[in-house]
Structure 1
Amino acid sequence: MPRTLSDERRDLTKAIADFCRRECGTKEQRDKLTANGQEQHNQKLYGKMAELGWLGIAVPEEYGGAGLGMTDLCLFLQETSYGLAPISGFGTTIIAAAAYEKFGTEEQKRTVLEGVVNGRVEAISMSEPGAGSDVGALSCRAERVDGGYVINGQKTWCSNAHFADHILLIARTAHGQSKHEGLTQFMVPADADGLQIRGIDTMGGRDVNDLYFTDCFVADSAVVGVPDRAWTQLMAGLNLERMILAAMMLGVAQRAFEDTLTYVRQREQFGRPIGSFQALKHRIADMATELECAQLLLDDVAAAIDAEPGRVFAREASMAKLKCTELAKHVTLEGMQMMGGYGYATEYGMEALLRSTVVSTVYGGTSEIQRDIIGKTYGL
């Protein structure tokens, strides 16, 4: 189904697609850029995108960005994901940057937002060994001292911390009547004394980290927003985080679908292409239909956010995240099944797409959490 895009947006998607084909369009290129799939971010490629002005697509013009909205950001994310560009640092960077834009001091904004435009990477750290979906259970402590705070504790599953400039840390600074009270956001340099960053090996390569804070001092100027009010600040960023993940995974799902379609058209068994058999033809039809539905949902929610940028679309953003991540996992699993043994071969790439989609139903709020949020918006 053709999408209705303005000439500017059509030109943008074409330029990104051309760039990805040229820079990372072959498996050989991607292997070289990612250390054979072990690294999900290539800073040199990222820098080229910065020079083209793409990384500042959602950054306000006063900080050197393009000042565009959610629709344009989703177009960029979807197209680069489809093109398999190894720029995993971008998602966490934009999530963190939005928090600094909304709540940071002018100095923090200048440092981070101008850095984003110039190709710098940011990270955000919420999860702990005992606090994942239950963010209010955080125990990493920031104690008030003269001139600042001393941080002690452990964080985990922090994406991209090993090559980020700063970590937007959510730590406990007080205990209130509610477990969501007493949380504060801090801008912590990734090379701060008392901070150790240790990689976690996963089936997707090195992308996430444990963070260990031992008497790590940060000045008062490191506080982002209002002390003890981080929970409210985090809620203001839910639209962005969920839409980023939805757009990325829809791009991956579309790539997996196209790769599967190419395979079933070319692979022959019993004297004809396997895609001509009803069992596979109907599965292709179902996936294509679901992808169109997901695209319409993503576009509609993005347009709604652009129309009312100050509003939190809890239900709609959760629906987009739920639909696109679950669909991406389904499409890659179907691709593996239809490609048979070749689906497991690194040469064909479907197994790498599967690895990238399976985790997407966990991070950024699990599918179960998204369903719970959606249900609550109906009074359940």
Structure 2
Amino acid sequence: MRLTDEQREFGAAVDAFCRREAGSRDQRDALTDGGAEAHSDTLYRKLADLGYLGITIPEEFGGAAGDATDMVILLEHLIKNLAPVGGIGPTIITAAAYEKFGTDEQKKAILSGVVAGDSLSISMSEPGAGSDVGALTCKAERTASGWRVNGQKTWCSNAHFASTILLVARTSSDGGKHEGLTMFSVPAGTPGLTISGIDTLGGREVNDLYFTDCELPEDAVVGEVGQGWGQLMAGLNTERLILAAMQLGAAQRAFDDTLTFVTERHQFGRPVGSFQALRHRLADHATEIACTKLLVYDVAAQVSENPAALLPRQASMAKLKATETAKAMAIDGMQMMGGYGYATEFDMERIMRSSIISTVYGGTNEIQRDIIGKTYGL
């Protein structure tokens, strides 16, 4: 993995920002209502002021026109520093769909808003359609003036503070289950849309969405009517790489916190990290994190070289490896820290909670393994 001097300086600048604005537990608690919220709009807007939120947005909309590697650097360093900006992943994922498929008017409104600090959300899952997205039933029917949406969506990240939700709904039941899906742009506060939070171990992160005769104009369609499935598939590289980058950062933070603890904690007259059982375990995790970083940045380089290429094997491998590495490091970190790893006074328990769910969202790791297997003809 070879980064340019400018990219290394960018990572260092993100680190410095995080240390200054959210470097202590007290600062992060003040920004997140004691940890109940995963996203601080105050901190997020400061990132926007620095131009960081436009890292992958084209220059014509005020962005920096950076590539996938620049995006990975930003996300890895933000999450490594526990910056409470949970909205950034879904925002970059959703912005990429608007950039690929939106009209000129949609791009101007949405992408410029992202650069300025707006958050976005994408809604696919339903009570009966999770990993099997093609089974979704939330329906959008044509009207004289546009579309009328009825149905329920669930597990929608960040919808409670997003300025716009990108909805995937069924516009036709003809053909196979992956046909007849369409993307719609739904502004926050649209009449007929009710957002209800779902309580989780991670606090307020995900939501149920209820559409009841929700009226959308004709120009709410993003891309082509009935082509939503293909449009979703075109964004999988970006989505899985984003998740991989974030969990790479989480794994590194879990390792760093564990290393600090076992170095400072003494039992039986010596640092607990000097005992072979812990020393070897940390050596294994350090090796796994280094391997994960090489994989994630290699996939980022491939995406940067050819953004239009579909890389199902590589993107799924990156997501699978990074999330499993973060989960293993956090669980072992808690074990090595003992009761302190379980106490909310320390960050390890929160890292563990967020890393465990990372193997579920964005396509479960079982699905990632299935995709990888299929690329080998299995």
TM-score normalised per structure 2: 0.99
Q: Distance in 1 between matches of 2:261 and 2:73?
A: 26
Q: Distance in 1 between matches of 2:169 and 2:339?
A: 46
Residue 104 (structure 2) pairs with residue 101 (structure 1): no
> Which residue is equivalent to 1:253?
251
Counterpart secondary structure, 2:37: coil
Deviations 1:99-119 (A, max 9, x none): 111111111001110000000
What is the aligned counterpart of 2:185 among 171, 179, 187?
A: 187
> Which residue is equivalent to 1:8?
6
Q: Which amino acid aligns with 1:372?
A: D
What is the aligned counterpart of 2:53 among 33, 52, 55?
A: 55
Q: Which amino acid aligns with 1:174?
A: S
Q: Distance in 2 between matches of 1:203 and 1:305?
A: 33
Superposition RMSD in Å: 0.7
Q: Distance in 2 between matches of 1:165 and 1:228?
A: 25
Q: Which amino acid aligns with 2:282?
A: I
What is the aligned counterpart of 2:237 among 220, 236, 239?
A: 239
Instruction: Return the offset for 1:265.
Output: 0.7
Structure 1 segment 280-291 matched on structure 2, within 5 A: 280-291=278-289
Q: Which amino acid aligns with 2:100?
A: K
> Which residue is equivalent to 2:294?
296
Structure 1 segment 14-29 matched on structure 2, within 5 A: 14-29=12-27
Q: Distance in 2 between matches of 1:4 and 1:183?
A: 41
Residue 160 (structure 2) pairs with residue 162 (structure 1): yes
Instruction: Return the offset for 1:65.
Output: 0.2
Counterpart secondary structure, 1:217: strand
Residue 118 (structure 2) pairs with residue 138 (structure 1): no
TM-score normalised per structure 1: 0.99
Structure 1 segment 1-380 matched on structure 2, within 5 A: 4-380=2-378
Q: Distance in 2 between matches of 1:143 and 1:4?
A: 50
Gaps of 5+ in 2: none
Q: Distance in 1 between matches of 2:288 and 2:174?
A: 45
Q: How many aligned positions are there? A: 378
Instruction: Return the offset for 1:175.
Output: 1.2
Q: Which amino acid aligns with 1:261?
A: L
Instruction: Return the offset for 1:4.
Output: 2.8
Instruction: Return the offset for 1:354.
Output: 0.5
Q: Distance in 1 between matches of 2:117 and 2:89?
A: 13
Q: Which amino acid aligns with 1:137?
A: A
Q: Distance in 1 between matches of 2:59 and 2:243?
A: 24
Gaps of 5+ in 1: none
Q: Distance in 2 between matches of 1:60 and 1:42?
A: 25
Instruction: Return the offset for 1:176.
Output: 2.6
Counterpart secondary structure, 2:286: helix
Instruction: Return the offset for 1:305.
Output: 0.8
Q: Percent identity?
A: 63
